[in-house]
A and B are shown apart, each in its own frame.
Chain A
Amino acid sequence: MHFRLSTFSRYFIVILGITVIGNLVVNRYATVTVEARARWVEHSHQVILTSQALLTHLTEAESGQRGYLVTGNPSFMAPYNDGYGLARRAWEDLLGLMHDNATQQSRLAEVQRRMSEKFSEMAQTISLADAGKREEALSIVRRGSGRLLMEEIRSQLALILAEEKQLLEYRQNAYQDARESARLWFTGANLGMVLLMLVFFKALKISALQPILDLASRIRCYDMAGRLDQKIPERLCVEVRLLMEAFVQLSMNLESKQQSLQRALEQAALSNRALEISNRELESFSYSVSHDLRAPLRSIDGFGNILLKRQADRLDEEGQDLLRRMRAAAQRMGQLIDDMLVLSRISRSELSLEFFSLSELAADVVSHLRESFPDRDVTVVIEPGLCVKADPRLVRIVLDNLLGNAWKFTGRTSDARVEFGCVSRFDTDEYFIRDNGAGFDMAYADKLFGAFQRLHSTSEFPGTGIGLATVARVIHKHGGQVRAEGKVGEGASFWFTLHD
């Protein structure tokens, strides 16, 4: 359906406009007609009243004349004069009123002729009475021509009246008809407009309102999982169809986006699983590697020891020294294996964060160091009350290494002093471990944290070179930074943060 609501509305407004204008025009015409016909009715009324008035006035004049003639009283002249004047006026009025009717006009002319005869007769008698000749006047009256004239006037007026009454009835009917038509037209026009509006709203309902409600309920049922029901109903206007199509399109886009998201999720889950598997394999590999590597080490160390003890008398100094070096090498290798295991395990493990006291942890590490090296006299200063949120197991490894290093590298320092504290800079806390031991050359500072990197020979200070790499890995796992400062012969300080 290509029904466009906007076009339809435009046409409808034009039609409505035409209807309204037409209605106004016809209404005007009907009103005018009704008024005209009312005027004609009024006209007939006027004619009737005036005719009746004319007769009345004539009769008044006549009785005035009679009275004066009989009594000679001049007070009777008033009605005669009044009657005469009013009758003349009434006749003039009638004349004006009857300009449209030829028949009535001729009748009126008859009336006029007889009226003037009558008045001249009455005037004659009155002037005789005035002169004292009342008897003469009366005899004229007794002749009866005056009475005859009145009779003729009466009959003419009766005819005029009869005709006018008929005319009145006719005009009144016409007036009623006009009013009836006007009323019918008014009602019809209103009904017509109501009908038009109904048609418009019906069209609006079918083409727009219903489909919009339907779309609304479909959207409500849409659960973002599939696509919107594509079936578009037959009867709807172009505008709403566009709306529906837009929604269907939107739902299709959402669906495909969701599918791609789903795929990405599955992909991520897959790679996650793969990573987990690889992690586990790595873990068991590292374990079995270290386990299997240790067995031969045990043999080397053990047999070397047996040789030293049992065969001491057969070996000279050089032989014994060689054996000792062999044992030391085996033990160092064992230490290396352990350190490497720790290093690899750190990268693979998850951080389990908790609040704990760094000061207490440091004190514990120091007490272990004192136990392991009882003949060392080292002054240790630990800043109290340092608390942090981190993985305590891993941070212990950091402190083991850094404090252990400080212990080790002050081995040749008298008045050995190790400090552990914290400096707050901006809004991060930087922890430090400072010693006054052998120190190191700052030129090699960037090598410090590489694996297997050593800045001293094993004869000076023992070590595998993995410790600081382990420290760096733990710190970085926490999102922190680590750095070192040193001066040969004066000591070293190591700084680290545990957050970014």
Chain B
Amino acid sequence: MTRKAILLVEDNPDDALLTEHALRESNICNEVVHVGDGIEALDYLFCRGRHAGRDPADLPAVVLLDINMPKISGLDVLREIRANPRTHRLPVVVLTTSKEEQDLVSSYDLGANSYVRKPVDFDQFTEAAKSLGMYWLLLNELAPAK
């Protein structure tokens, strides 16, 4: 069984790097694919644009999605993911700094599987990444591929 990738959708390159490091700290060896905005995330998932040559069946194990992004927001990406039957059941974890209750509500309404707030302290961040990894990659069972 090929190891599935983790799709990290994050516009802040520093935060992306920190997340990757945190995942490494947790001994998670899956490939981390980082895209810088929502449009590229959708291009990757639906194999178009820059990622036109990809195998459509090759979906990530989990998508770590930031909400506050330029161009299209994370919520719009989430909506697109849920709208498409191929990616409908793809696990999406909203990983964001936003404390707005409205974002929380909208995320769940649009079908996010989980909502995690990024802590400021790096140690805590690492712990959070480890828990995330452990759960979504090892414990959680994915829906069978279509």
Contact = CB atoms under 8 A, between A and B. Distances in A.
B122 A301 contact: yes
Contacts of B118: 298
A294 B97 contact: yes
Contact of B14 (A303, A305, A331, A334): A303
A297 interface: yes
Interface in A293-319: 294-299, 301-306
Q: Which of B17, B18, B123 is packed against the most chain A CB atoms within 10 Å?
A: B18
Main secondary structure of the interface of A (DSSP, over half): helix
B95 to A, nearest CB: 13
B21 A306 contact: yes
Contacts of A4: none
B122 A295 contact: no
Nearest to B119: A298
B121 A331 contact: yes
A47 to B, nearest CB: 135
Contacts of B97: 291, 294-295
B125 interface: yes
A287 B72 CA distance: 21
Interface string A47-62: 0000000000000000
Interface of A: 291, 294-299, 301-306, 331, 334
Given A294-B120, A295-B15, A334-B120, A302 B21 contact: yes
Contacts of A306: 18, 21, 122
A285 to B, nearest CB: 14
A441 to B, nearest CB: 34
Nearest to B98: A291
Contact of A301 (B12, B17, B120): B120
A294 B14 CA distance: 12
Interface residues of B, number: 14
Interface string B12-27: 1011011001000000
Nearest to A296: B14
Q: Which of A295, A296, A297 is packed against the most chain B CB atoms within 10 Å?
A: A295
A298 B18 contact: yes
Contacts of B12: 295
Contacts of B15: 295, 298-299
Interface in B85-114: 97-98
Contacts of B18: 298-299, 302-303, 306
Contacts of A299: 14-15, 18
A468 to B, nearest CB: 24
Contacts of B98: 291
Nearest to A301: B122
Contacts of B17: 303
Contacts of B121: 301, 331, 334
A291 B100 CA distance: 11
Given A291-B98, A302-B21, A297 B14 contact: no
A354 to B, nearest CB: 23
A259 B123 CA distance: 65
